[in-house]
Amino acid sequence: QVQLQESGPGLVKPSETLSLNCTVSGGSISSYWWTWIRQPPGKGLEWIGYIYYSGNTNYNPSLKSRVTMSVDTSKNQFSLNLSSVTAADTAVYYCARKGSGASWFDYWGQGTLVTVSS
Partner 1 sequence: EIVMTQSPATLSVSPGERATLSCRASQSVSSKLAWYHQKPGQAPRLLIYDASTRATGIPARFSGSGSGTEFTLTISSLQSEDFAVYYCQQYNNWPLTFGGGTKVEIK
Considering only residues 5, 21, 23, 60, which one is a binding residue for partner 1 as defined by CB under 8 A? Answer: 60
Q: How far is the CB of 50 from partner 1 (least distance, A)?
A: 9
Cβ-contact 78, 69 below 8 angstroms: yes
Q: How far is the CB of 103 from partner 1 (least distance, A)?
A: 4
27 touches partner 1 (CB under 8 A)? no
Closest CA to 82 of 32, 18, 29, 33: 18
> Euclidean distance between the first and final Cα of the chain, in Å?
39
Q: How far is the CB of 13 from partner 1 (least distance, A)?
A: 26
Cβ-contact 24, 76 below 8 angstroms: yes
DSSP per-residue string spanning 43-85: S--EEEEEEETTS-EEE-TTTTTTEEEEEEGGGTEEEEEE-S-
47 touches partner 1 (CB under 8 A)? yes
For residues 52 and 14, what is the distance between their CA atoms, to the nearest angstrom?
29
Stretch that binds partner 1, among 12-20, 56-64, 70-78, 83-91 (CB under 8 A): 56-64
Stretch that binds partner 1, among 16-24, 44-52, 70-78, 82-90 (CB under 8 A): 44-52
Residues that bind partner 1 (CB under 8 A): 44-47, 58, 60-62, 94, 96, 99, 101-106, 108-111
